[in-house]
Structure 1
Amino acid sequence: MSDAHEFLAARDFLLAHRERYDEAYATFRWPRLARFNWALDHFDAMARGNGRTALWIVRDDGDDVRLSFAELSARSDRVANALRALGARRGDRLLLMLPNVAPTWETLLACMKLGVVVVPATPQLGPTDLADRFARGGIRHVVTDADGAPKFDGLAGDYTRLVVGAERAGWTRYETAYDAPAALDPDGETRADDPLLLYFTSGTTAKPKLVLHTHASYPVGHLSTMYWIGLRADDVHWNISSPGWAKHAWSSVFAPWNAGATVFVYDYARFDARRVLDTIVGRGVTTLCAPPTVWRMLVGEDLGAYAVRLREAVSAGEPLNPEVIERVRHAWGLTIRDGYGQTETTAQVGNPPGQPVKPGSMGRPLPGYRVVLVDPDGREADVGEIALPLGDRPMGLMAGYLDASTTAQAMDGGYYRTGDVAERDADGYVTYVGRADDVFKSSDYRISPFELESALVEHPLVAEAAVVPSPDAMRLAVPKAFVALRGDARPSVDVAREIFRFVRERLPAYKRVRRLEFAELPKTISGKIRRVELRGLEERRHGGGTPADRAPGEHWEEDFPELRDGGTRDSGVGTRDSGLGTR
């Protein structure tokens, strides 16, 4: 017997309290689930006789793919039967490496119905990355496309291979699954704590960790994400994200379909801000979730010329600088609402609809999440590492990492520790400071890279920036910016001088960027900047803090005497703070 009624009651409560945050936060309780399979008990139930569009994919050539809830339910039943016929069993792990095509959603639903654990993988992975996932993830089955299949040629072993849209020796053509029997007979009940998803993290500071989620933690846990976005059943929701990463499951699967909304995707080959804006207008998108990089590209266009029908606009992935928020508000009368979560969780903190938004803040804890900040001594404080008390464990928290020692470290002292540092104000609003590993000290001041990077990217020539500590004999370390320029801009002494001048007008003396280097920024496959590489580079170069070790294209503030100004010069001595930034 399923506990679907418990899930629906919790869902309906949040939908009814969509703009009543205080009451929702105080009253909401996670559903009590023992047996629950979201695909069978929620999606299929919602899909019966339901001709509304569940999935809408628009391609660059203008071809639209629309599948109703009923059609997607039926297709996933056939795919499940085909996978079972090929040997897929409850608990097996299936690596899903597809772009934004209908089989991505069909396969996920089919695996949920079978109890097969899905290992999402971005199509950007190479053979070495895939070998690591096979070795550590215990992969038994693979679904990919014609572009992905050759990457598995060097991976020997007895595993099922399905390829979408192609014929390939040794592979089963995915489309034959549509001829499988229509009626699916589940092999038994699904427990809510059964494994469902195994994610590899992006690996910004270390080797990717393996995050295990259950049939409750992501499907049901994303009720918090549904609430943050403000989704309704009549929405056409576009989440600009790539399959293979947790954010795709967040807002292109569970959050919108929890609400019964349409999942929209524009499957472009190359990002073009004008075509994206034309698509938002032309396809009647009503809710949009996009990462800060996309929002920064969009505000470079004349937003006021686009008559969007957006009701809600949100951003996640990293904090969004206030200038972008203001440009969108001025053009469309909409406030981009920031939110925060991780691969390990659903949305923890956010600005839900109808609530005041404070510039720079990512909002308040969302219903179902008690969020605290913990100082280096493990005490709750107003500045510290974002942590979730395990005594009040949220349903959206992962079951754990696949490695038990990594889980024990992250959940030490009765908290799940996120590794992110934040500040909380008197109204309960939480402002992101940076990764605990990225925050550093200069002259006893605690420096958040994000704040400095936000100032840098406001310069019209700066496309991206990463700030790390550069060893300094007097200050211990000074902020150094690695900067990538926009378009046709070329690095030069004059550009460096202008950027130094620009940021010194926007930052207090103790936070100023003191060194700058024009460079291409190292990134993970998911596009996140690997500051750990840049920190290591600085340690090797400037361990002695001497100018002799400079790289080509590196500039120091002291090279420009005209920028000196005795009235604001930093003495190099600060007041002691809490020393946060180390775990």
Structure 2
Amino acid sequence: MRDVFASAAEDRGEPSYADLCAGFRWEVPETFNFGTDVVDRWARERDGPALIWSNEAGEERRLSYSDVAALTDRFANVLRSHGIAKGDRVLVMMPRRPEWMIAMVGAMKIGAVPIPCIEMLTARDVGYRVEHAEARAVVCRAEHVGKFDAVAEAVPVRVALGGASGWLDWEDEMAAASPTCEPERVAADDPAVMYYTSGSTGHPKAIVHAARAVFAWRGSAIYWLDLKPGDRMWCTADTGWSKAGTSILFGPWSCGACSVLYDGPFSATERLKLLERRQVTVFCAPGTELSRLVDEPIASYDLSHLRRTVTSGEALSPAIADRWQAATGVRIDEAYGLTECLMVSLNYPGEEVRYGSMGRPSPGVDLDVVSPSGERLAVGQEGDVALLTPHPQLMLAYWGEPDRLAASLREGPEGRWFLTGDRAERDGDGYLWYRGRSDDVISSAGYRIGPLEVENALLEHEAVQICAVVGSPDIERGEIVKAFVVLRQGFESSPALTKALQDHVKSVTAPYKYPRAIEYTSALPTTATGKIRRRDLRDREYEAAGKAAG
């Protein structure tokens, strides 16, 4: 892997994918503390802009690496002075503010394990996380302290930004803390950060990542984001998601780039204004946001600084990608990852991009499509996406569930594979093509149909703004393909439009995949990160069918 510090001032050009893979070697250090080995080192060796923050109210704040180094030292000392030590879990529930990054890195400097959380969590949500993770510290804004009332006694250290009764005041504690911190030694396999993410059933699962993973995640920042000192990177993800960690915090700062952070609601026009105003060079947003942006008059904004647009988290419609590239002159490079290992398949600058593809495995990553017996499948065969282990990016464990990781492993002739839960096929050039979640696949009259191909076909029609495709129970066929469609302005639902959409899908993909039922809706259910919740739609279909039968 490229040494980001040694090559910071060099322009190495764009080596081919084959050269990247052939020359790649993992060199994971025996110890790695992100706060000292990245933030402090940039501050010491090549100080520069680290963060440009603003919010909806127009407030703004800029921090250099030396600013961040000093502030995270102070916060580390705040935690340490109140008894927080290496291995202790620290729940950080903050919006897109500098304090989120300061709390995360400050905790890591003393070897504590931060747990980033979004503010929209309910009291029940945070209560579960506090108790499940046995958190010893909580950091949040004053207006959210009430969510912790039921578990406050279980958390010995509580810090509120803005001050609250019974809580430590962020400003007072930071002012009183020592400005220099003696960092903790963190071994490569020591826990470094924990993420909660939704499982298929029950409570969210807690994924523990080691320090080696935080080190290894710079791979996607180098090869996918293509970040260097001087870049301004804006990722719109919220703070509680692993995508924010890799594309707002760990990725940009590992490469000495400046992270752009905006605390405000989604507005397509505001997104474009900020891209112009902040002179963003690398932009990361989910497909649902990009689908809104392409409907705006993009040509009226100066996006001349933008050299790279990337997306992940949900499959990107080729139709949206084409429109963005036509409007900006910048293509969209998709990547594939999951919270358990982050980005493992990328599209690369200087290499051909194939819209709709997950890209090709990252250098140093053996990712493939495997059979139920753990064998690699041939070109064009659909199977389970899996990562060959051991691998530095793969999580340590599911916290509190020692058997859960084992259930995600599959033995094969070459070793043990970690199953991602997604299905795909590989083409002759090594590009992976997403075919849906293992539990999203529609089984209709003996055919297995991935929802994404049908969605992409629908999105090519001028009437469709966004859509989701699920299996709906059917007596004759087992399931039928059903599409939920949000129409663009100027179009109205009608039987004639339904037939037109069905005929369109038949014309661009195998006819058996066309949606036999189409329901028009004003909105689709999404997660907090903007991913469409197909499961909710499918569950609704099965619940309705059950009531009709009973």
TM-score normalised by the chain length of structure 1:
0.86
Q: How does 1:141-540 map to 2 (within 5 A)?
A: 141-159=137-155, 160-164=157-161, 166-179=162-175, 180-186=177-183, 188-203=184-199, 207-268=203-264, 270-308=265-303, 309-382=305-378, 383-390=382-389, 393-402=390-399, 403-413=401-411, 414-485=416-487, 493=495, 496-519=498-521, 521-540=524-543
Work out which of the residue numbers 61, 65, 72 in structure 1 matches 2:68.
72
Q: How far did residue 202 of structure 1 move?
A: 3.0
Work out which of the residue numbers 95, 99, 109 in structure 1 matches 2:91.
95
Q: Partner of 1:135 in structure 2? A: 131
Amino acid at match of 1:406: R
Q: Partner of 1:560 in structure 2? A: none
Q: 1:42 to 1:525 in 2, by over 3 A?
A: closer
Q: Does structure 2 retain, via aligned residues, the 8 Å contact 1:522–1:530?
A: yes
Q: Does structure 1 retain, via aligned residues, the 8 Å contact 2:347–2:353?
A: yes
State the distance in 2 between where 1:11 and 1:94 align: 34
Q: How far did residue 158 of structure 1 move?
A: 3.5
Q: How far did residue 529 of structure 1 move?
A: 3.1
State the distance in 1 between where 2:518 and 2:186 align: 55
Q: Which region of structure 1 is more displaced relative to structure 2, 227-236 or 482-491?
A: 482-491
Q: Does structure 2 retain, via aligned residues, the 8 Å contact 1:7–1:31?
A: no
Q: Partner of 1:81 in structure 2? A: 77
Q: 1:207 to 1:490 in 2, by over 3 A?
A: farther
Q: Partner of 1:575 in structure 2? A: none
Q: 1:230 to 1:37 in 2, by over 3 A?
A: same
SS in 2 for 1:237: strand
SS in 2 for 1:274: helix
SS in 2 for 1:388: strand
TM-score normalised by the chain length of structure 2:
0.91
Q: How does 1:19-34 map to 2 (within 5 A)?
A: 19-34=15-30
SS in 1 for 2:391: coil
Q: Does structure 2 retain, via aligned residues, the 8 Å contact 1:421–1:436?
A: yes
State the distance in 2 between where 1:536 and 1:285 align: 40
1:33-92 per-residue CA deviation (whole Å, 9 max, x = no partner) reads: 212212112220111275421011122233321000001100110111111112211111
**Unaligned 5+ residue runs, structure 1?**
551-583
Q: How far did residue 404 of structure 1 move?
A: 1.4
1:61 correspondence with 2:60: no
State the distance in 2 between where 1:99 and 1:495 align: 42
Q: Does structure 2 retain, via aligned residues, the 8 Å contact 1:221–1:395?
A: no
Amino acid at match of 1:387: A
Q: Does structure 2 retain, via aligned residues, the 8 Å contact 1:18–1:227?
A: no
Q: How far did residue 167 of structure 1 move?
A: 2.4
Q: 1:23 to 1:9 in 2, by over 3 A?
A: farther
Q: Which region of structure 1 is more displaced relative to structure 2, 219-228 or 235-244?
A: 219-228
Give aligned-pair identity as a percent. Answer: 36
Q: 1:346 to 1:441 in 2, by over 3 A?
A: same
Q: 1:204 to 1:465 in 2, by over 3 A?
A: farther
Q: How far did residue 543 of structure 1 move?
A: 5.8
Q: Partner of 1:563 in structure 2? A: none
Q: How far did residue 491 of structure 1 move?
A: 5.6
State the distance in 2 between where 1:76 and 1:220 align: 22
Q: Which region of structure 1 is more displaced relative to structure 2, 206-215 or 96-105?
A: 206-215
RMSD of aligned residue pairs (Cα, Å):
2.6
SS in 2 for 1:203: coil
SS in 1 for 2:436: strand
Q: Does structure 1 retain, via aligned residues, the 8 Å contact 2:91–2:117?
A: yes
State the distance in 1 between where 2:8 and 2:66 align: 22
Q: Does structure 1 retain, via aligned residues, the 8 Å contact 2:468–2:532?
A: yes
1:194-223 per-residue CA deviation (whole Å, 9 max, x = no partner) reads: 101111113356532111101111233332
Q: How far did residue 151 of structure 1 move?
A: 1.3
Amino acid at match of 2:308: E
Q: Which region of structure 1 is more displaced relative to structure 2, 16-25 or 406-415?
A: 16-25
Amino acid at match of 2:266: F
Amino acid at match of 1:456: L
State the distance in 1 between where 2:487 and 2:224 align: 34
Q: Partner of 1:573 in structure 2? A: none
